[in-house]
Chains A and B, each alone.
Chain A
Amino acid sequence: MTDHSEFDSVSGKTTTGHEWDGIKELNTPLPRWWVISFYLTIIWSIGYWIVYPAWPLISSNTTGLLGYSTRASLAVELANLEALRGEKMAALAAAPLADIEKDPALLALARAKGKTVFGDNCAPCHGSGGAGAKGFPNLNDDDWLWGGTLDQIMQTIQFGVRSGHAKTHEGQMLAFGKDGVLKGDEIVTVANYVRSLSGLPTRAGYDKAKGEKIFVENCVACHGDGGKGNLEMGAPDLTDKIWLYGSDEAALIETISQGRAGVMPAWEGRLDPATIKAMAVYVHSLGGGK
């Protein structure tokens, strides 16, 4: 190859020999310090091959002298975090359930922990703020099927409702229609009677005496005298303004005919005791706790 480089008298430098439309390129090499630094970084990089995981092998890779791995480093960091939390959660685990709300620091911890765990485990049914939905109780109100004290809430979280756990809450609304206990017109009559218990309007011309008779014969066993409910059975108070499955006639007829048996899983074994405690305090502090 011919060398086309020439001397440029204006700048006192030689050209590279490249020319485009009469424009010639001055030969301005990179500064020596830059070039040396560049080669030093290349040499330096070899060090990484030696001390860090670098080259892929058939089924694994070179591990490097330091034995570093991002996975191990993550495990260490998570362990540190757990240790840090462990100290605080130990205090929560040790405190009597009733005293947690009285200690601002423990209350804040329980609420923070409870809120996170609630979001992960309970929100799919009860909603992210515990507002509930049809068939899933609102945990902010003061109506509790299985009791709203701290101990009762904790028990429900631990063992669940109709969850299959040995200590679970049992009891269900029977399917009076499906099972042939009550006939169609009897169901309509008793549904109207139930509405009258909480002061809701009833269908014109319904037989109140007949409704009361059916109610006493079939419902009082669980729902109690006057339909005040029974926490032992999880039988709701029929005289209040809160209706888990709706209060209109059609909804009541459906409930009486088909029965109701919502399920809440037992959390014992899935969540550790301190977490369940934090959850109980959180749910209690939502506002409805007794």
Chain B
Amino acid sequence: MNKTVNPKDLTSDDDVGPLYAARTKVYPQSVSGTFRRIKWGLMAFCLGVYYFLPFVRWNRGLGAPSQAVLIDLPNSRFYFFFIELWPQEVYYFTGLLIVAAVALFLMNSIGGRIWCGYLCPQTVWTDLFYAVERLIEGDRRERMKKDKSSDPMKLERISEIVLKHSIWLLIAWWTGGAWVLYFNDAPTLVKELVTFQGPMIAYVWIGILTATTYLLAGYMREQVCTYMCPWPRIQAALTDEWALNVTYRYDRGEKRTSVKKAAELRALGEQVGDCVDCYQCVAVCPTGIDIRNGPQMECIQCGLCIDACDNVMAKIGRPKRLIGYDNDINIHRRQEGKAPIYRIVRARTVVYSAIIAAVGGFMIYTLATRSLLDVNVLHDRNPVAVKLSDGSIRNAYTVRLLNKSGYDRVIAIDANGPANLTVHVIGIDAVTPDRPMIVIPRDSTSELRLLVTAPAEGNPEKSIPVHFHVTDIGLGEVASATDNFVAP
């Protein structure tokens, strides 16, 4: 047998027992109030956009997809209402990500984890799953009782569980289903999916997202925020002393005790706080914490404890917002008898707003002024130059024309650079001498082989810049590219 360790023999670094603490299941209670209403509203809005956006139509003319938001991977196009992006314009997404990141910073410096509490998919879907659970199994107490009960399950309880999981899976399945609709024509794909003729990859993605939604919102819930998500850690570096966070206002006095006892103590002239220790803020918390312990890593700042506390304060005739969006500065000011100050406009928020405005403005500007006609030129490498029988020099180029507009274009190619040059495009008989005209179909690229020939006399340089101008005959739009004309 091993010797029993005497606690006195342990140094301070020693620890006894396993380091693992099992999760305590959270049973959030239903609550009503301002923030709950905001959350319901945002949930309806976010889910409404997510689930129904693929069905919104947008007319782009014949032959183009009529879906307002579509990621067309096979044809490498992204459609967003009136915007159509090509793969080489992916930098718009970079801009969008910058704006999104800075907007997150801005939210954080104004109102803390607004994203976490109201907008994050994890929060929205978990909230929805809790609502389903509450509807079927009852509120906090009933659910706790049912989970603890060791009686053999009755049919009623079994049917409750089956119903809950069925509805959860249905929501999860719809979540995965909506996802794939962004990648294909939604009505067509829905028809294909229900008749089991959809592409295999669509079913696979629906399966994956059904599983993640069901597991993350049904089982993992607040653990995702506490253990998996990096954002709670990042935000510690982004918040400052002015940011309004969900705060228990301990300036409203301490010693938390029951209403009755508080009245007695007050009569005796003792210090008593407004908090009556009803634990309603803890009961409604979706992450299972006690906000009165101060700001905590687990807190997603959803404001439900504010609603819970306000309801209690109203009942006992005390001022609302014992828990509220507040900060330490104001708590200290009130303790010193000064009026609270709220400073939304400060260096941090101004800089964030400026970055958002600058990046957003630049994106809108470039998007509005971008050319829908483009040309790329690539010089032949082998041979770089060819001497013809009359001694003149010819260079060959691969020209790629891009027509990003929704209509066919007739374009003319002009080249200037070496003296007395002539231009020829393989397969095109020029109507106008040395000005080949080509039709580029709508929303596509054309690759041409273009030959530039110039006499050796009058072009003594080894390398002469040559400019190619591509002109839309109808609209006069011009795109240009420059390369070199090289002597052998």
Bound together? yes
Residues of A in contact with B (beta carbons under 8 Å apart)? 6-11, 15, 101-102, 104, 107-108, 111, 127-131, 138, 140-143, 237, 240-242, 285-288
Q: How far is the CA of A9 from the CA of B7 in the complex (A)?
A: 12
Chain A residue with minimal CB distance to B426? A285
A-B contact pairs, 29 of them (CB 8 A): A6-B1, A7-B1, A7-B2, A9-B4, A10-B5, A101-B426, A104-B446, A107-B426, A107-B427, A128-B382, A129-B383, A130-B383, A131-B382, A138-B383, A138-B386, A140-B386, A141-B386, A141-B394, A142-B388, A240-B389, A241-B389, A241-B390, A241-B391, A285-B426, A287-B394, A287-B396, A287-B426, A287-B449, A287-B451
Chain A, Cβ-Cβ closest to B446: A104
Contacts A10-B5, A10-B16, A108-B447 given; does A140 touch B389 at CB 8 Å: no
B446 proximity list for chain A (CB < 8 A): 104
Q: How many residues of B contact A (CB 8 A)?
A: 25
10 other A-B residue contacts (CB within 8 Å) besides A138-B386, A141-B386:
A7-B1, A9-B4, A11-B18, A127-B383, A129-B380, A141-B388, A142-B388, A240-B389, A287-B394, A288-B386
A52-B74 Cα distance, complex, nearest whole Å: 35
Out of B1, B4, B396, name the residue touching A140 (CB < 8 Å).
B396
C-alpha gap A287/B451 in the complex (Å): 7
* Contact partners of A240 in chain B: CB under 8 A: 389-390
- In the complex the two chains form, is B389's CB within 8 Å of A141's CB? yes
Which residues of B lie under 8 Å from residue A287 when comparing CB positions? Answer: 386, 394, 396, 426, 449, 451
**CB atoms of B389 and A242 under 8 A apart:** yes
A/B pair count, beta carbons within 8 Å = 72
B344-396: which residues lie under 8 A (CB-CB) from chain A? Answer: 380-383, 386-391, 394, 396
Contact status B389-A104, CB under 8 Å: no
Instruction: Give A130 to B427 CA distance when docked, in angstroms.
Output: 19
Q: Chain B residues near A131 (CB, 8 Å)?
A: 382-383, 386
The residues of A that contact B389 with a CB separation of less than 8 Å are 141-143, 237, 240-242
Interface residues of B (CB under 8 A from A): 1-2, 4-5, 16-18, 380-383, 386-391, 394, 396, 426-427, 446-447, 449, 451
For the complex, what is the distance from the CA of A142 to the CA of B389, rounded to whole Å? Answer: 6
Residues of B within 8 A of A288 (CB): 386, 388
Q: Chain B nearest CB: distance from A109 CB in Å? A: 12
Given A140-B394, A287-B451, are A127 and B386 also a contact pair (CB < 8 Å)?
no
Q: Chain A's nearest CB lies how many Å from the CB of B484?
A: 17
> Min CB distance, B377 to chain A, in Å?
16
Q: What are the residues of chain B within 8 A of A141 when measuring CB–CB?
A: 386-389, 394
Q: Which residues from B are CB-within-8-Å of A237?
A: 389
A142 to B446, CA, bound (A): 26
Ranked 6 nearest A-B pairs via Cβ: A129-B382, A240-B389, A131-B383, A101-B427, A241-B391, A140-B386
CA distance A164 to B20 in the complex (A): 86
B396 → chain A closest CB, angstroms: 5
In the complex, how many angstroms separate the beta carbon of B429 from the nearest chain A beta carbon? 8
Contact yes or no, A286 B16, CB < 8 A: no
Chain B residues with CB under 8 Å of A129's CB are 380-383
Question: Do the beta carbons of B427 and A102 come within 8 Å of each other?
Answer: yes
Contact of A15 among B2, B5, B394, B451 (CB under 8 A): B2
A127 touches B426 (CB 8 A): no
Inter-chain CA distance A285–B2, complex, in Å, is 89
Q: Tell me whether A242 and B5 are in contact (CB under 8 A).
A: no
Shortest CB-to-CB span from B80 to chain A, Å, is 31
Residues from chain A with a CB closer than 8 A to the CB of B394 are 140-141, 287
> Could you tell me the distance in whole angstroms from the C-beta of B107 to the nearest C-beta in chain A?
43
Q: Find out whether the CB atom of B2 lies under 8 angstroms from the CB atom of A241.
A: no
Q: Is the CB of A9 within 8 A of B5?
A: yes
